[in-house]
Amino acid sequence: MRVVVNHLTRMEAPRICIAAIAPDTGRHIRPTTSRLRPLTRNLLAENGGPFALGTLIELGDTTPDPKPPETEDCIFSPASAQVVGRLSPNRYLELLRENAHRRIHGIFGEELLRHDWNYAVDKGCGSASLGILRVCRSPDIDVDRFGKLRLRLNDEDKPAFLSVTDVRFVEADHKAEVVADVRARMRRGVEVLLMLGLARAFKRSDDDRERHWLQVNGICMADRPLAAQP
Q: What does the H/E/C string look like for 175-220?
A: HHHHHHHHHHHHHCCCCEEEEEEECCCECCCCCCCCEEEEEEEEEE
User: What pLDDT, in 10s, does the model give residues 5-34?
Assistant: 999 999 887 899 999 999 999 999 999 998
> What CATH number should be reported for the domain holding residue 74?
2.40.50
If one counts the domains in the chain, the total is 2
Question: What pLDDT sits at residue 87?
Answer: 98
pLDDT digits (tens, 9 = 90+) for 194-225: 999 999 999 999 999 999 999 999 999 999 99
Which pLDDT score, from 0 to 100, does residue 8 have? 97
pLDDT for the residue numbered 78: 96
What pLDDT score was predicted for residue 133? 98
Residue 230 lies in a domain: no
The verdict on 11 and 65 lying in the same domain is yes
57 and 128 inside one domain:
no
Residues of the chain with pLDDT under 50: 172, 174
Report CA 91 to chain centroid distance, whole Å.
Answer: 19
Does 227 fall in a domain? no
140: number of Cβ within 10 Å:
16
Distance CA(192)–CA(194), nearest Å, equals 6
Same domain, 110 and 214: yes
Domain enclosing residue 63, as ranges: 2-91
